[in-house]
Amino acid sequence: MKKLFLLLSAAALLTGCATAKSETDKLANCKYALRSVEISDYNVNSLSFDIMIAITNLNRKDPAKLKRFEGELAMNDTPVSKINLEEATIPPNATYNAKTHITVPMSAFSSKLLGLVSMNSGTIDYHLTGTMYFEGPLGAEIPVPVDVGRIGGYNT
């Protein structure tokens, strides 16, 4: 009886590991790009931005299922805001454009960066770092780090 229990436990563990590996492969085969960061509103107290993050699922058969994303947006190496994305499913061989809106208080900007932003300068570098989570076996969340450089640049 003990041997049967151990055999069934080992089989369940191997199945769980294979499922986790499969899910990891699906998301490891995704590319992430910071598509756009656009000023949507501004006043003396804050700047508001619309941000689009493109997530491309390169897997030809299976969808990639995002649980959530938690990250931070930096402009010219100055952290300006936290970014959070909700759950999404990206079909095989497709790109999902995740959109979010943030409002950043003026106090978060250095005077040099504020000048560049207000002039809509092309010399601003945007950088997004964070962790994407997806659901693994038994409801466990599996983290995948994301680090995206300039607009349109894919992570490597």
Evaluate the CA torsion angle 86, 91, 93, 99 in order and state its sign: negative
pLDDT of residue 151: 47
Fold classified for 2-148 = Immunoglobulin-like (2.60.40)
Distance (Å) of CA 22 to CA 10, 18, 44, 147, 155: 18, 6, 49, 22, 21
The answer, yes or no, to whether residue 133 has pLDDT greater than 90, is no
The answer, yes or no, to whether residue 123 has pLDDT greater than 70, is no
Share of the chain above pLDDT 90, in %: 13
pTM exceeding 0.85: no
Triad 79, 82, 88: Cα angle to 5°: 135
pLDDT of residue 7: 52
In the chain, domain spans: 2-148
More confident residue, 79 or 151: 79
pLDDT of residue 153: 39
Residue 83 · residue 71 · CB < 8 Å = yes
Smallest CA-to-CA distance from 75 within 131, 132, 33, 114 is with 114
**86-97 pLDDT, tens per residue?**
888 889 999 999
Evaluate the CA torsion angle 43, 103, 112, 149 in order and state its sign: negative
**96-119 pLDDT, tens per residue?**
999 999 998 888 777 666 666 666
Residue 20 · residue 136 · CB < 8 Å = yes
Task: Please give the single-letter amino acid code of residue 94.
Answer: A
